[in-house]
Each structure stands twice: as C-alpha cells, then as structure tokens.
Structure 1
Amino acid sequence: MAQISTEVPGDERGTLLSFVEAQRTAIRESLLGLSEEQAASRPSASELSLSGVLKHVAEVELAWLRMAQQRPNERHRTQETRDEMFRLVGSESVPAVLAFWDEVRQETEAFIAAVPSLDDTFPLPPAPWFPKDGKVSMRWMLLHLVEEFARHAGHADIVRESLDGTKAMG
C-alpha cells in the first residue's frame, strides 16, 4: 500500500511516485535478512528467485527511463543476454543491485520532476507487443511501473513465503 508522506507532494506526480515507491519497497523488503544464497534460491514452482526479481525490476525501470529520456540504455539486453536479467551473474550481489536500483530511482524521480507535463510523450521502440509508431505519456510510464512492480512484489511475496515462511503482510 502506498504510504502518505509529507515529503512527497500530494499532486499527481507525487502521488504516482509514491505508489511506484511503495511497490519498490515491497520488493526490497522481501530480501531483508537473506543471504546471497537464499536470495538466489528458487523454493517455489516458479523459476524466479528474489535476487532475480530484484535485478529484473531495476533493469526494467532503467529501460523505461531511458525510453522516456530518449537515450540509449546502457544495460540493453539482447536475445543472448535476456536470461541474465533474471539472475545475478559474475560478481553481482544483492547489495550492488539494490544500490544500482537506488541510483535509477533517484534518476527517475529527478526526471519526472523536471518534465514539463505528465502528458508529454515518448516513442515506443519497434516490438511485436507495441503498436506501430506507438507513443506513451510520462503518466502512462509511471502507472506501468506501478503495475510491473506490483506484479513482481506479488512474486517476491510467494517466493519469500516458500523460502522461510515470512509473510509480507504479517
């Protein structure tokens, strides 16, 4: 649930950002107290691990931010590296991915604060799941991040409960 904060403006931007942050928090909290090994485990029927969910959502947020900024994505995934989006590789660690995601969060919030209007649009890349020559607004992007993060916060809840019985809501 989105927390009401006196630090975030109660306007539309602040409200949307607070809902995005509430879902980020749910995912981050699913990893509290776990070892790297536990975070990488897959104790449920799902192929997802908590560290894989974390990396995925951080990279998804960066991808949407770069599309909105109309800048190249320095972590763009190819067909060959797509599976790496869902697992930590090499020297990656949960703290490192959390730090990366925090940098992305700060950049997203600064970008949204600076756009003249949430009605401003940006083009979607060519993809079978996007309409030809499609565009979306900044508002749409923020709502999409809420949807994306909420879906994966639910995944994280199930994986964490399967791992050690910890429940997000008590």
Structure 2
Amino acid sequence: MTNGATLSRERADLLAGLGKHRGFLRYTVQGLTDEQAAQRPTVSELCLGGLIKHVARVEDQWARFAVGGAEAMFADDADWASGFQMGPGDTLTGLLAEYEKVAGRTDELVRTLDLDAAHPLPEAPWFEPGASWTVRQVLLHVIAETAQHAGHADIIREAIDGQKTMG
C-alpha cells in the first residue's frame, strides 16, 4: 500500500486512461431510455445496457483479483451470459450507478495498492499456464477491456439513432 496524498505520475496516468475510456462508454448511453439501452440493433447479442453491466462486473472481478487473487475474483456466482443483457428490473440508471460504485472502488485501489504485487492467474485456456499478473497488468487489462467495449457501444449506439462518440 502507498501512503501519499500525491499520486505518482504512473498512478495518475492509469487513472486518466481508465477514466477516459469509462467516459467514452458512459457517453454512448446519454439520453437513452431503458428500452433503447436494451435494444440489439445489430446481429450481435450485445446491447448498450448489457455492455455497461458487463464492464462493471468485469472491472469488479479484476479489482478483487488485484487484492486477493483468483479465488477472490470468482467470489460471486453470476451467470456470465446474463452479464451482457439487461434483465428484468435492470434500468440504465441503476446500471450506471453500479458502474460508478465499481469505478470508485477500483480508483481507490489504483491509488493504494502496490502496482508490483502479483497473483497467479486463474486457470483458463486464454491464460498462459502458471502465469501471474501484477496489479499494473490487471489495470492495463481493465483499461483495454473498457476501451474495446466502448468501441462496441459506439457501433451499437450509431445503429440505434446515428449518434457517435467521436466524429
């Protein structure tokens, strides 16, 4: 854990990068109704509300990994497929509020955790067997995941009403 009030340049850069891509993702849902956020206007199964839900869930899982390793990462039994959809009772406002809570917790970890601390990755075909990731690698992965899904969201939003995040 670090103890300074001033962030290092690296921590500030990580927070800025993550914040930028979170902002792009949030921008894609501005002004939408719950019904629009649940639409699937492409052949993909993805919807905008589902992307917000997924990114929040994945960021939360990786934050738990950064603190407690693979066991902590999978502490919930959430259904993976439902994490990409707006379920009954989900609202865009509620999903954004949950994402904001997750983001706040992650940001605090960026400010406080040892970026060099590492945990073995969970066993999965997409991870090298026996590999470990540092907190820094986890954060870079969360930034990349958020950026990728912000791009997906931009395409979906453009298909709904022509709005684009950039351009």
Q: Distance in 1 between matches of 2:50 and 2:142?
A: 17
- Spell out, residue by residue over 1:97-123, the C-alpha distance to the aligned partner (whole angstroms, 9 max, x if none): 1111111111111112111x3111122
Q: Distance in 2 between matches of 1:76 and 1:111?
A: 23
Q: Could you tell me which residue of structure 2 aligns to residue 30 of structure 1?
A: 28
Q: Distance in 2 between matches of 1:47 and 1:17?
A: 30
Gaps of 5+ in 1: 1-7
Cα gap change, 1:93 to 1:51, in 2 (>3 Å): same
Q: Distance in 2 between matches of 1:33 and 1:91?
A: 19
**Would you say the 8 A contact 2:120–2:133 is kept in 1?**
yes
**Would you say the 8 A contact 1:63–1:76 is kept in 2?**
no
Q: Which letter does structure 1 place at the counterpart of 2:32?
A: L
Cα gap change, 1:145 to 1:135, in 2 (>3 Å): same
- Spell out, residue by residue over 1:46-99, the C-alpha distance to the aligned partner (whole angstroms, 9 max, x if none): 22110111111000101101111113545443xxx2210101213121111111
**Would you say the 8 A contact 1:126–1:132 is kept in 2?**
yes
- TM-score, normalized by length of structure 1? 0.87
Q: Distance in 1 between matches of 2:107 and 2:164?
A: 29
Q: Could you tell me which residue of structure 2 aligns to residue 4 of structure 1?
A: none
Structure having the larger proportion of residues in helix:
2
- TM-score, normalized by length of structure 2? 0.88
Relative contact order higher in (CA < 8 Å, ≥ 6 apart): 2
2:135 corresponds to 1:138: yes
Q: Distance in 2 between matches of 1:163 and 1:10?
A: 41
The total of aligned residue pairs comes to 159
- Spell out, residue by residue over 1:17-65, the C-alpha distance to the aligned partner (whole angstroms, 9 max, x if none): 1101111111111000000000100112322110111111000101101
Q: Which letter does structure 1 place at the counterpart of 2:146?
A: F
2:119 corresponds to 1:119: no
Q: 128, 131, 152: which one pairs with 2:125?
A: 128
Structure 1 stretch displaced more, 158-167 or 68-77: 68-77
Q: Distance in 2 between matches of 1:106 and 1:31?
A: 20
**Would you say the 8 A contact 2:7–2:111 is kept in 1?**
no
Gaps of 5+ in 2: 1-5
Q: Could you tell me which residue of structure 1 aligns to residue 53 of structure 2?
A: 55
Q: Which letter does structure 2 place at the counterpart of 1:125?
A: P
Please give the root-mean-square deviation of Cα atoms over the aligned residues, in Å. 1.7
Q: 149, 157, 166: which one pairs with 2:154?
A: 157
